[in-house]
Chains A and B, each alone.
Chain A
Amino acid sequence: MTHAYTPGLKVSRQTEVKKERRLPLKGDVLVGVGDSVTAETIVAKTELPGNVQTVNVANRLSILPEDIERNMVVKVGGWVEQGDLIAESRSFFGLFKSSAKMPVAGTIESVSNITGQVIVRERAIPVEIDAYVDGEVIEVFEGEGVLVKTTATFVQGIFGIGGEAVGILDVVAPDGSVVMDPSSINSSHKDKIIVGGSLVTMDALDRAREVGVRGIIAGGIGDSDLRILLGYDLGVAITGSEEIGLTVVVTEGFGQMTMADRTFNLLASRKGMKTSISGATQIRAGVIRPEVVIPLDAATRRSEGEAVQKHATGLVIGSPVRVIREPHFGKIGEVTSLPPKLQKLESEAMVRVLGVRFEEAGEAIIPRANVELIEE
């Protein structure tokens, strides 16, 4: 009966983190195995095909689309500068001339004798991929990217928005139960990643954007605020590409949710350290959770003891768990019993349950589906 449980989110003081850094298209890898990299190191680069413009040459020249090719003065594939002539027509014994010029510098990609359009491809867009975390390159995927390894403090969030961000970690709340106060965010937090308490409000988000905070880590966010922040109602949890001026990582859920002490204290203990975060979330095929990665230097690693990799053992008596649904949502405790028989809940559902003793005193019977294992 130990099989049915929800794997929890990782909150690790020290663990090995590997990050794949891949280009969207094949290109050049700029580092080699064994190289030390910082989060900002460009590890691979490529060029994406440039933007596309269309020129309706047939219209400009007042000719039929099928006549376009004999009026073109440049060939498909050729590079043409902005303003250069690309097609020309003469009428009335050559007395009247019409011409079409390049709207931007680019290559002539295609000439259509059906639509009379010329498609112009602008200069390729360079794309660079950075290492995202300070660490070491341990594998190179030829022409595609690298695998970077680091030993770090690693915290998985439950939901996030915005892409990757790197900055120095700072703490703006006294503990995990306090709502993030906008007045506690000031100009000293510019370019930093700040850790708040149980809720990041719209006022706090606005203040953070105003001073140039790069990322926020908080226990909860209100859905109504999320809607204002995004400008739309989020239908499915697929995020990471929002351009909202910063990255948000939520560790517990929606609404005011006290950040687990363990998470808050761990992050607080890393204050002042360089931190990489990502808000990308995908709760479907190929699950992606938002994350906080705080690489540790050799001295810290030694003083705290080398990382020990723990494997998920499933739910057993004594397992630390977090309740993830009302009525005890957010509480943390220890499994005290795993009765094999189905039990009736207040909702009258007959389900498998477990007994939990909460950290803050008290015990409860909770459906097994409503707890998650707290993983190292």
Chain B
Amino acid sequence: MAEVNKDVEDIQTIMATDCGSTTTKAILIEKRDGEYRLIVRGEAPTTVEAPFEDVTRGVLNAVAEVEDLTGNTYIKDDKIAHPREGGVGTDLDLSTSSAGGGLQMMVAGVVKEMTAESAQRAALGAGAIVMDVIASNDQRQPHERIQRIRALRPDMILLSGGIDGGTTTHVAELAELIAAADPRPRLGMSYSLPVIFAGNVDARELVKERLETKTSLSITENLRPVLERENLQPARLGIQELFLEHVMKHAPGYKHLLEWTPVPIMPTPAAVGIIMQLIAKEEGINVVGVDIGGATTDVFSVFGDVFNRTVSANLGMSYSISNVLAEATVPNILRWVPFDVEETDLRNRVKNKMIRPTTIPQALESLIIEQAMAREALRLAFIQHKLLAVGLKGVQQERTISDTFEQTESGATLVDMMQLDMLVGSGGVLSHAPRRVQAAFMLIDGFMPEGITELAVDSIFMMPQLGVLAQVHPKAAMEVFHKDCLIRLGTCVAPRGEGKEGAPCLEISLEMPDGTTESRSVNFGEMAVIPLEVGQKAKAVIKPSRKFDAGAGKGKEIQTELGGGQVGVIIDARGRPLALPTDRVERVRKLSEWNDALGVYPED
């Protein structure tokens, strides 16, 4: 635990800031009547742009907004003053940061379809944009490969190659190519390019000899120790560490911010990860969480005791929104939009958001398009996460040689949607959705929960600040978390299976807290909601029809207790996997029907 000068019990005022890639948020927490509560929140655009080019300016602007809202003074001499003296300043000042942008990598391996592909998977899973894959058999001349490395100037290179005990020659050759290219990193000339070697253990010395002096070399376990098995996690963790260490720290002003706070600035994803683990531990449940930001989307999962985190550095709602469009493709975005949009119009809207990342949707149409983009960003980020969240410690994901050319999500992923208890969303597009049901619906469409899953969002996007606060003052963090941060939306009941439109899918009966009973029969292709307030529980009898599984098996009844929330109990009888109508008119009709059933958008 980090050191704080003041006795934690004496801390009355806490200012916690989070410098996102788009917006800087400041929250003020105060001890009132013996418990810590969120008082106000201020925000301002992150100031990496001219004329400021200093993240601390955005921090001061956000804190200045807190000053405006409270009438108190927290800034003195262009700094957040602490400790609090004479009614000025705070007792504790904390910060998290995700400003800095995405990660651009090159990967290299011996055989394009084997180790190089594994390396690519490792890098993608770690959230990188893979600029190029270099392989001994990629049909390019050595000098062409060297030119490529030089021209692309990646943030980092992942070198793999050779199963343990296999070829060392080809690995040495790849290392020689990288050394000959003498690559310089894209950002910041003051450090040498990070290279991770995750290949044949026998080649480590050869790689060291060739790269140790020319690059910042780190060595992790072989990501393909034998042909039939991948071991991607160590390389992925290595990449993520270097991403936080090297890329993020190049946000202008980051160094000053470091000087202000008595506790180390925590990268935003790490802070959110702490909170996710706390939820899972406290409630003894399996949790999937997502933090969708401007440049990156982070997905977290806790299944059993295993925690996994992925950073999708190229999926986000502002800086990376154009990449969401490129990866998801136009038809996949438009399938969530219940009106006609021209492709050229969509493309221009998305690019305009990319170049003016701090703007917000004013018109309803803009909001709906933005939420459609969010669904795809969530879906793609979750696919990346499922590829990373594999196996327990010491147990590796098995792939047979016959699978080599068609890598799919195997049963080895830890993410089992039927076993998932809670889905938590965070990030501007979810936390600031004008109606909470919009956040619930985006989470459902992005993640496709199966069976019974509780839904929650971070009220005003403060999980990062609470994550870092939990490191120094767990009591304050958890008090605020439960009272002011976590907003329970309700429970989603989504049976697995497919059927015919209009055929019976599920019957649900809820014994409400007031003693009344709410019963519904929901047909395949429909959505429904039964209001159940925050903090309330209802005894439920769920009877899926014989083709559908709500968690106990096909056609098997479930008796359980469902938790309420700001939306209530959502019954999603659209089936899993979800198949949206391919006919445009029919699709628009169904989307409108679902939106109306849940009251997602205001009526015309």
Contacts and interface: CB of A to CB of B under 8 A. Distances in A.
A285 B65 contact: no
Interface stretch (A72-80, A167-175, A292-300, A341-349): A341-349
B181 interface: yes
B383 to A, nearest CB: 17
B337 interface: no
Contact of B367 (A158, A224, A349): A349
Interface string B38-82: 000001110011111100000011101100100000000000000
B13 to A, nearest CB: 20
DSSP class of A's interface residues: helix, strand, loop or mixed?
Answer: loop
Interface in B355-375: 355-367
Nearest to B347: A223
B556 interface: no
B350 A346 contact: no
A255 B352 contact: yes
Give the interface residue-count category, chain B: 35 or more
Interface residues of A, number: 62
Interface in A320-365: 324-327, 329, 340, 345-351
Contacts of A3: 44, 60-62, 64-65
A235 interface: yes
Interface string A229-263: 00001111100000000000000011100000000
A51 B323 CA distance: 33
B484 interface: no
B298 to A, nearest CB: 17
Contacts of B360: 325, 349, 351, 367, 369-370
Contact of A223 (B21, B48, B61, B350): B350
B486 interface: no
B435 interface: yes
Given A53-B142, A119-B180, A349-B434, A159 B362 contact: no
A239 B362 CA distance: 29
Contacts of A233: 322, 325-326
A115 B326 contact: no
B173 to A, nearest CB: 4
Interface in B492-542: none
A253 B323 contact: no
Contact of A287 (B50, B61, B345): B50
A285 B206 contact: no
A5 B61 CA distance: 10
A4 B45 contact: yes
A222 B129 contact: no
Given A223-B348, A237-B322, A285-B187, A346 B364 contact: yes
A1 B65 contact: yes
A236 B187 contact: no
B251 interface: yes
Given A236-B102, A283-B357, A51 B44 contact: no
Contacts of B170: 115
Contact of B252 (A1, A54, A159, A286): A286
Given A52-B143, A54-B142, A117-B176, A347 B356 contact: no
B435 A348 contact: yes
B362 A234 contact: no
B147 A51 contact: yes
Interface in A1-44: 1, 3-7, 24
A222 to B, nearest CB: 6
Contact of B348 (A54, A237, A254, A283): A254
A117 B173 contact: yes
B582 interface: no
A119 B146 CA distance: 11
Contacts of B101: 236, 284-285
A366 interface: yes
Q: Rank and list the top 9 A-B pairs by shortest CB-CB distance, nearest first.
A: A235-B323, A348-B434, A284-B101, A223-B347, A255-B348, A3-B61, A347-B367, A254-B351, A54-B142
Interface of B: 21, 43-45, 48-53, 60-62, 64-65, 68, 99-102, 129, 142-143, 146-147, 168-170, 172-173, 176-177, 180-182, 184, 187, 206, 250-252, 295, 314, 319-320, 322-323, 325-327, 343-345, 347-352, 354-367, 432, 434-435, 602
Given A1-B68, A237-B319, 4 more contacts: A110-B180, A115-B170, A326-B365, A326-B366
28 contacts: A1-B65, A3-B62, A6-B45, A6-B358, A7-B51, A109-B180, A112-B172, A112-B173, A121-B180, A159-B355, A222-B347, A223-B347, A234-B351, A235-B320, A235-B326, A236-B129, A254-B355, A255-B344, A255-B345, A285-B101, A287-B49, A326-B362, A349-B360, A349-B361, A350-B434, A366-B362, A369-B45, A370-B359
